[in-house]
Each structure stands twice: as structure tokens, then as C-alpha cells.
Amino acid sequence: MFHYGFGFGYVLMQVFFFLLLISWVVASIVALFALRNVKLSSIAKALWVLIILGIPVLGVIAYFVIRPTEEE
């Protein structure tokens, strides 16, 4: 009789946004652990950490696309 806006579409969108949030957290953690094994200077690692955590989605995407190489 009364409809308060909690239909199937609403629930589906909430589940979708929740899964996006979880996938972003997992991708950030994976990127930070992968950054731990790369041989970079401490300043370069700190900058990457700030980029990954400071720019939520784009930072993780940038890390996986650019893949910082080791210094020589």
C-alpha cells in the first residue's frame, strides 16, 4: 500500500556502490603492497602513497597503468 522508495532498483544500486567501494579498498591495498616491493627512493615511495591515497580511484588506476620502475 505504501511505497517508501526501497524497490529492487534502489537495493541493486546500493549493492553496486558497496561493491565498488570494496573493490577500491582492495585495489588500494594491493597497490600499496606492490609498492612495498619496488626499489624506489623513500621520497618517490611517499609520493606514490600520497597519490594512491589522496586521489581515490585515479591514484590506483595511475599506479597500475604507470607501474613505477626501479631506480638504477
C-alpha to C-alpha distance for 39 and 70, rounded to whole angstroms: 5
Instruction: Give the closest residue to 44 by CA, choosing from 24, 26, 69.
Output: 69
Q: Is the confidence at residue 3, as pLDDT, over 70?
A: no
Between 72 and 8, whose confidence is greater? 8
pLDDT in tens, 14-47: 999 999 999 999 999 999 998 888 888 889 899 9
Element housing 15 (H / E): helix 8-36
For the segment 58-69, the average pLDDT, to the nearest whole number, is 86
Residue 6 DSSP label: -
pLDDT of residue 70: 62
Using a 10 angstrom Cβ sphere, with 0-12 exposed, 13-18 middle and 19 or more buried, the burial of residue 2 is exposed
Between 9 and 43, whose confidence is greater? 43
Residue 32 grid coordinates: 600499496
